[in-house]
Structure 1
Amino acid sequence: MVSTENPAPSFPKPEFTGAEAGLQEFPSSKSRSYNYFKPRKMRATVYEDVTFDVQPDPERHLSQGWIYGFADGPGGYPKDWTELKSSDWHRFLDPNEEWEQTIYRNNSNVVRQIQLNLENAKKAGAYRNWAGSWVRFVERHLGAWMHAEHGLGMHVFCSEQRSAPTNMINNAIAVNTAHKLRFAQDLALYNLDLTESELAFDGSVHRSVWHQDPVWQGVREAVERLTAIGDWAESLFAANVVFEALVGVLFRSHLVMQVSARNGDYVTPTLVGAGEHDYERDRSYTRTLFGMLTGDETHSAHNKQVLGGWLDKWVPVAAHAARELQPIWSQPQEKVVTFAESWDASVNGLRTLLSELSLDEPKGLA
Structure 2
Amino acid sequence: MTTTAVPSTERSVPKPAFTDAEAGAKVFPDSDARRYNYFKPAKRKQSHYEDVTVEVQPDPRHYLSQGWLYGFADGKGGYPLEWTALRAWGSDRPVPERYAGSGGAGYEWPAHGWHEFRDPNEEWELTLYRYNSNVVRQLNQNIEAARQAKAFDQWNRNWVQFVAQHVGAWMHVDHGLGLYLFANANRRAPTNMHNNAISVNSMHRIRAAQDLALYNLTLSEEIEGFDGGAHIQTWNSDPAWQGVRETAEQLTSIWDWCEAIFAANVVFEPLVGELFRSNLVQQAAPSNGDFITPTLIGAEEYDFAERDLRYTKPMFHLLVTDKQFGAENRKLMQQWLETWVPRCVHAARTLQPLWSQPDAKPPRFEDGLDRAKSRFSAILSELELTAPKELGQ
TM-score, length of structure 2 as denominator length: 0.84
Contact 1:128 1:199 in 2 (8 A): no
Pair 1:338 & 2:340 matched: no
Residue 194 of structure 2, aligned match among 164, 169, 191? 169
What secondary structure is seen at the aligned counterpart in 2 of 1:365? Answer: helix
Q: CA deviation at 1:364?
A: 1.9
Q: Does 1:354 align with 2:380?
A: yes
Aligned to 1:282: 308
Q: What does 1:72-151 align with in structure 2 at a 5 Å threshold?
A: 72-87=74-89, 88-151=113-176
- Residues 141-290 of structure 1: matches in 2 within 5 Å? 141-280=166-305, 281-290=307-316
1:29, CA displacement in angstroms?
5.9
- In the TM superposition, residue 35 of structure 1 has moved relative to its aligned partner by 2.1
- Which residue of the other structure, out of 299, 319, 323, is the alignment partner of 1:293? 319
Per the alignment, residue 7 of structure 1 pairs with none
8 Å Cα contact 2:355-2:362 kept in structure 1: no
The answer to whether the 8 A contact 2:79-2:189 is kept is yes
Other structure's SS at 2:45 match: coil
**Do residues 318 (structure 1) and 320 (structure 2) align?**
no
How far residue 73 of structure 1 moved from its aligned partner, in angstroms, is 2.9
Give the Cα separation in 1 of the matches to 2:79 and 2:129: 27
| CA–CA distance in structure 2, aligned partners of residues 249 and 151 of structure 1 | 17
8 A Cα contact 2:36 2:51, kept in partner = no
| Structure 2, unaligned runs of 5 or more | 1-28, 90-112
Residue 298 of structure 1 and its aligned partner are, at CA, apart by 1.1
Q: Which amino acid aligns with 1:296?
A: D
Within the candidate set 353, 365, 376, 1:327 is matched to 353
Distance 2:73 2:352 in 1: 48
The one-letter code of the counterpart of 2:155 is W
Q: Which runs of 5+ in 1 are unaligned?
A: 1-27
Alpha-carbon distance in 2 for matches of 1:73, 1:306? 27
Change (3 A) 1:37 1:123: same
- Deviation (angstroms), 1:46: 1.8
In 1: Cα distance, 2:58 partner to 2:184 partner = 21
CA contact (8 A) 1:242 1:318 kept: yes
| Map of 2:24 onto structure 1 | none
- Tell me the amino acid that sits aligned with residue 99 of structure 1: W
What is the distance in 2 between the residues matched to 1:184 and 1:34?
38
Structure 1 length as normaliser, TM-score? 0.90
Amino acid in the other structure paired with 2:69: I
Return the alpha-carbon distance in structure 1 between the equivalents of residues 316 and 364 of structure 2. Answer: 32
Asked whether the equivalents of residues 280 and 362 of structure 2 are also in contact (C-alpha less than 8 Å), the reply is no
**Deviation, structure 1 residue 115:** 0.3
Query: For the residues of structure 2 that align with 1:198 and 1:43, how far apart are their CA atoms?
Result: 55
CA contact 1:329–1:335 (8 Å) conserved in 2: yes
Instruction: Pick one of 45, 53, 68 that aligns with 1:51.
Output: 53
Change (3 A) 1:317 1:29: farther
Instruction: Report the CA distance between 1:30 and its aligned residue.
Output: 7.9
Aligned to 2:42: 40
CA drift at 1:68: 2.4
User: Aligned partners of 1:95 and 1:49: how far apart in 2?
Assistant: 15
- What secondary structure does 1:41 align onto? coil
Matched residue type, 1:310: W
CA contact (8 A) 2:114 2:191 kept: yes
Equivalent position SS for 2:235: helix
Contact persistence 2:86–2:258 (CA under 8 A) = yes
Q: How many Å separate the matches in 2 of 1:93 and 1:29?
A: 25
The separation in 2 between residues aligned to 1:113 and 1:67, in whole angstroms, is: 43
Q: CA deviation at 1:180?
A: 0.4
Q: Shift of residue 41 of structure 1?
A: 2.5
Q: Encode CA deviations 1:41-76: one digit per residue, 9 max, x unaligned.
A: 233222111111111212212244323222203212
Query: What is the CA-CA distance between 1:31 and the residue it aligns to?
Result: 7.6
1:107 aligned counterpart, secondary structure: helix
Cα distance in 1 between the residues matched to 2:251 and 2:159? 30
The residue type equivalent to 1:210 in the other structure is W
**Aligned residue pairs: how many?**
340
Q: Is the 8 A contact 2:164 2:230 kept in 1?
A: yes
What does the per-residue CA deviation read over 1:5-37, in whole Å, with 9 as the maximum and x for residues that have no partner? xxxxxxxxxxxxxxxxxxxxxxx9688244211
1:245-279 deviation per Cα after TM superposition (whole angstroms, max 9, x unaligned): 11101101111111111111110111100000111
Deviation at 1:170, TM superposition (A): 1.1
Q: Deviations over 1:222-257 (max 9, x none)?
A: 111111111000111111111111110110111111
Q: Percent same amino acid among aligned pairs?
A: 55
**How big is the alpha-carbon RMSD for the aligned residues of Structure 1 and Structure 2?**
1.5
Which protein is bigger by CA-based radius of gyration? Answer: 2
